[in-house]
Structure 1
Amino acid sequence: MIVHPALTAVTSLPRLPAAPPDIPYAGDGQLVAACILGILAVVLLITLGKVHPFLSLMLGSAVLGAVATMPPGDIVASFLDGFGSTSGSVGVLIALGAMIGKLLEDSGGANRIVSTMVGSVGPGRLPWVMALIAAILGLPLFFEVGVVLLVPVILLVARRTGLSLMKLGIPALAGLSVLHGLVPPHPGPLTAIGLLNADLGRTLLYGIIIAIPTVVVAGPVLAHYVDRWVPKFVDADSRVLVPVGSGGSGADGASRAQAAERGGANRGGRGGVGVPDGPAPGNEGATPSDRGRGGAVAGFDDLEAPLDPGRRRVSFAAAIVGITLPVVLMLIDAIAKLLVTDKKSGVRTVIDFFGTPTVALLIAVLFCYIVLGLGSGMKKDQVSASVGASLPPIAAIILIVAAGGGFKQTLIDAGVGNVIKDWATGVNISVLLLGWLVAVLIRLGTGSATVATITAAGIVGPLAATLTTSHLALLVLAIGCGSLFFSHVNDAGFWLVKEYFGLTVGETIKSWSVMETVISVFGFALVMLLSLVV
């Protein structure tokens, strides 16, 4: 009998294990060493070897399995098992979320939200509005995209109002970072939910409850103090960032008053690419201090790019609905699960269907496709191209997340999970605290929030069976908080913020790194408080 080569290739793939072996591959001490060396391999490959996290996680899995004396075939099978299950549960959601973000950006919906909200309040409330804008845009947009979108707005608003850069920048960064680390459908929380088999709706509900006060504390409140540590203003003349010391001297020897005076005298000059010239209409002749006392900041319609022929501006309401629709559907499902205990109820069945993450995100994509894309005057091929353009940038993210699932499965199949479970039970340490601490350590070592989330979820995963549904959701959030701890020089986000805001390394640590640490610690404190009542 002749067998087709393709069938031969399929049947030659490693057989996926149904469950971890009953008898560990090695003793407890050796398994712990395997775990430590596997994680260390990932850290060193990423930080010193500059190896891509996808390959680093694959090689780390190999090191872990080899030290644990797993047969090579079992190592490969475990990795592929975890890789496939994670990419299947998380990859579709990440892709749909990216489509929503891209349609929001290309249709002008994101700019419509910014211009409407910024132009509706006085300068004194702008830090709070920037935090709110960042939190709203942070639902569908990845952190890096949000930074790229908001930095020009922050510079423009700082220039026109005379407010310091940190008073506007820190709230915006806090809103983006908190949503990115704690609230689905971002990759970090989605991955942890998938690896721990947590309930997405309940995690989303608790995540929003924790995110709101965390954004307030790490955003507008912290910005008041960061402004003292890193006093930085935008020079309206040249868009150069002018640091102002305690004595009022900037890097160029100009005082804050001189910088403001120079800005007022040179309003007609070019303010840099992407920053319109001149004061906001209605604010002509006003000094920064005058504008800071109150009154709406008018004239921010120029935040929206000029329309091409045939294009229309989307409405503020449509843009908000496009962003919040999947979150609302999943929240309704989470609340229904708490209130309607009969799973066979017709109402519960319908709500469960529309609240399923894949369905909720797909509905939101279709809404954005029709209302934001076609509704803004984009042609069908342009909308299709926008959706297609959202996928290449997330390919690396999906591969990293899936490889992290493979690393996690290798760790569990080797028997490391049971060792950690027995140890945690013996010392009576809180699972939430353990998850946060592991994520903190991996974050400090690799600089990657995603790698920290994946690794921590894999290590504490065997303890998940001891938790209630609510506490399992809180474990996801505890790990998310730990993954944001003290971003420093090994984190790409650190350099992104440094360059976009024109900061020194020291200034970035005193602003961005401190903000990330406050988010991590304060957010985790709220997780622990919430665990006492749910």
Structure 2
Amino acid sequence: MSFIIVLSGIVLLVLLITLLRLNAFLAFLIVSILMGLVKHMTVTAVVGSIQKGIGDILGSLVILIGLGAMLGKLIADSGAAVRISTALTNLFGKKYLQWAMVLTAFIVGIPLFYGVGFVLLVPLVITVTSRYNIPAVYIGLPTLAALSVTHGYLPPHPSPVALIQQFHAQIGMTLLYGLCIAIPAIILAGPVFSITLKKYTAKPLATFAAKEIPESELPGTFTSFMAAFLPVVLIALHAVLQITTPATSKFYPILHSIDDGAMAVIAMLISVLTAAYTLGVKRGKKMEAVMGTLSESVKDVVLILLIIGGAGALKQVLTDSGLNNAIVDQLQNMHVHPLLLAWSISAIIRVCIGSATIAGVTTAGIVAPLIATTGVNPNLMVLATGAGSLMFSHVNDPGFWMFKEYFNLTFKDTLKTWSIMETIVSVVGLVGVFVINSFL
């Protein structure tokens, strides 16, 4: 009975978002209230669970997501992403232009939110391919594969960070495992899959071509790369030092006194302050203008925060109503590996709803208790869920339509390119998770 209640709740969530076009946050609240009432919770108890769920999940995420938005905005507005793209294109040359753009997307995709990265990088792709007379899809799709992987797999992106919090995983180890999986996923869904893409010769609309930015107005190459990479370097360095530093070292207690959550906040704060100076103040911008950029960036994440908060509310109602325990019992009786189960549920929700973020955080609320009962690695659960959340993007995903319109493709060709690329990213991610799991 409990399993039917949860399944009905997920179906209702899908219908509210897809058919009624209801805001995802409102849909989460409605479903949370109904599921609590069905389990005979009082209205006061249900509202209390919702408030606790939203507070618990956002309490540790607001800082990270807010700082991530600020860093991404600084990199985008300063021209640092353009500088990175230009530097790599000049380094690789026309012959390896595809790899240059893929690497650009991977680097700038780590701090940039997906939507920002898309509208920033695609015009660059269109401009570069027009200059060299290369099919835009041949370069563009691998570029977006790299951007998609960073969005689904790697912190400090909102969905992976939210999953880390819900699964009680380690941000450093998740990042290291994620990088190991991200590289083959990008290669297979990007350059390897692109072998089939040269026949798509549709000309993208000239409207979407990037405006040329004068060389003198771009930040330096080293400064641009440092701004994009610094949070990853700091988080990964902390994780590596924790593993490699001997217990007899005087630095051992210091390193282990800083947990993953604290390190992530410190790393992001240092990165934002560094970028604000190197990409702003140092280049002659007034402090008021730099702070204005940071304030503007917050608008990009408000809806994301509300969606994650709504998922946290649903998760808390499932816990307080006792539905979570019943779900765990049902799922364990299915005799399916927890990693495959997390991927499958996330993939199904993704295909139904279209949002990778909603798919990931909703799945976490359902399967998180399995970690305690099965002993599965929580870092790999984050990655399995994230990989599932990227599965088969189609008509209910805004990214599908953005790709179609920017590259001027038919509906059928968009399915054969964009949707297949996202599917490859998702499946390779699942395989990578199981490969790493076999060594742990």
Cα distance in structure 1, aligned partners of 2:377 and 2:76: 36
Q: Within the alignment, does 1:449 sit opposite 2:350 as a pair?
A: no
**Residue type at the aligned position of 2:138:** K
**Residue type at the aligned position of 1:328:** V
Gaps of 5+ in 2: none
Q: Within the alignment, does 1:382 sit opposite 2:353 as a pair?
A: no
**CA shift at 1:94, angstroms?**
0.5
**Residue type at the aligned position of 1:106:** D
**CA shift at 1:165, angstroms?**
1.4
**Equivalences for residues 392-411 of structure 1 within 5 A:** 392-411=299-318
Of the candidates 109, 115, 118, which is equivalent to residue 86 of structure 2? 115
The 1:467–1:390 alpha-carbon spacing in structure 2 relative to 1, beyond 3 Å, is: farther
Of the candidates 472, 481, 499, which is equivalent to residue 405 of structure 2? 499
**CA shift at 1:354, angstroms?**
9.1
Q: Say whether the 8 Å CA contact 1:94–1:187 is kept in structure 2.
A: yes
Q: Within the alignment, does 1:436 sit opposite 2:343 as a pair?
A: yes
Structure 2 residue aligned with 1:339: 244
| Deviation per residue, 1:481-515 (Å, 9 max, x gap) | 00000011111111111111112211111111100
Structure 2 residue aligned with 1:19: none
Q: Within the alignment, does 1:304 sit opposite 2:227 as a pair?
A: no
Structure 2 residue aligned with 1:39: 10
Cα distance in structure 2, aligned partners of 1:305 and 1:73: 60
Of the candidates 232, 235, 243, which is equivalent to residue 327 of structure 1? 232
**Worse overlay, 78-87 or 499-508:** 499-508
Of the candidates 75, 96, 99, which is equivalent to residue 46 of structure 2? 75
Cα distance in structure 2, aligned partners of 1:424 and 1:410: 18
Structure 2 residue aligned with 1:260: none
Which has more radius of gyration? 1
**CA shift at 1:90, angstroms?**
1.1
**CA shift at 1:116, angstroms?**
1.2
Q: Say whether the 8 Å CA contact 1:97–1:361 is kept in structure 2.
A: yes
The 1:196–1:272 alpha-carbon spacing in structure 2 relative to 1, beyond 3 Å, is: closer
**CA shift at 1:227, angstroms?**
3.0
Structure 1 residue aligned with 2:174: 203
The 1:134–1:72 alpha-carbon spacing in structure 2 relative to 1, beyond 3 Å, is: same
Q: Within the alignment, does 1:232 sit opposite 2:137 as a pair?
A: no
The 1:314–1:348 alpha-carbon spacing in structure 2 relative to 1, beyond 3 Å, is: farther
**Equivalences for residues 453-492 of structure 1 within 5 A:** 453-466=360-373, 471-492=377-398
**Worse overlay, 195-204 or 176-185:** 195-204
Cα distance in structure 2, aligned partners of 1:503 and 1:392: 31
Structure 2 residue aligned with 1:349: 254
Q: Say whether the 8 Å CA contact 1:107–1:376 is kept in structure 2.
A: no
**CA shift at 1:466, angstroms?**
3.7
Of the candidates 147, 159, 180, which is equivalent to residue 188 of structure 1? 159
Give the aligned length. Answer: 438
SS at match of 1:439: helix
Of the candidates 60, 68, 81, which is equivalent to residue 97 of structure 1? 68
SS at match of 2:219: coil
SS at match of 2:50: helix
Q: Say whether the 8 Å CA contact 2:137–2:407 is kept in structure 1.
A: no
Q: Give the TM-score normalised by structure 1.
A: 0.79
Structure 1 residue aligned with 2:37: 66
Q: Say whether the 8 Å CA contact 1:478–1:527 is kept in structure 2.
A: yes
SS at match of 2:156: coil
SS at match of 1:452: helix
**Residue type at the aligned position of 2:240:** I
**Residue type at the aligned position of 1:194:** Q
Q: Say whether the 8 Å CA contact 1:110–1:319 is kept in structure 2.
A: yes
SS at match of 1:429: coil
Of the candidates 201, 211, 221, which is equivalent to residue 316 of structure 1? 221
| Deviation per residue, 1:416-473 (Å, 9 max, x gap) | 22122223333332110110011011111111111110111011111121455x8110
Cα distance in structure 2, aligned partners of 1:120 and 1:65: 58
Cα distance in structure 1, aligned partners of 2:433 and 2:271: 29
**Residue type at the aligned position of 1:516:** E
Cα distance in structure 1, aligned partners of 2:253 and 2:179: 22
**Residue type at the aligned position of 1:320:** F
Q: Within the alignment, does 1:362 sit opposite 2:269 as a pair?
A: yes
**Residue type at the aligned position of 2:417:** S
Q: Give the TM-score normalised by structure 2.
A: 0.95
SS at match of 1:211: helix
**CA shift at 1:67, angstroms?**
2.1
Cα distance in structure 2, aligned partners of 1:130 and 1:108: 16
RMSD: 2.0
Q: Say whether the 8 Å CA contact 1:218–1:518 is kept in structure 2.
A: yes
**Residue type at the aligned position of 1:514:** I
SS at match of 1:503: coil
**Residue type at the aligned position of 1:475:** M
Cα distance in structure 1, aligned partners of 2:210 and 2:366: 48
The 1:215–1:91 alpha-carbon spacing in structure 2 relative to 1, beyond 3 Å, is: same
**CA shift at 1:347, angstroms?**
3.9
Cα distance in structure 2, aligned partners of 1:475 and 1:161: 42
**CA shift at 1:336, angstroms?**
2.5
Percentage identity across paired residues of the two chains: 38
Q: Say whether the 8 Å CA contact 1:131–1:171 is kept in structure 2.
A: yes
Gaps of 5+ in 1: 1-28, 241-270, 277-302
SS at match of 1:119: helix
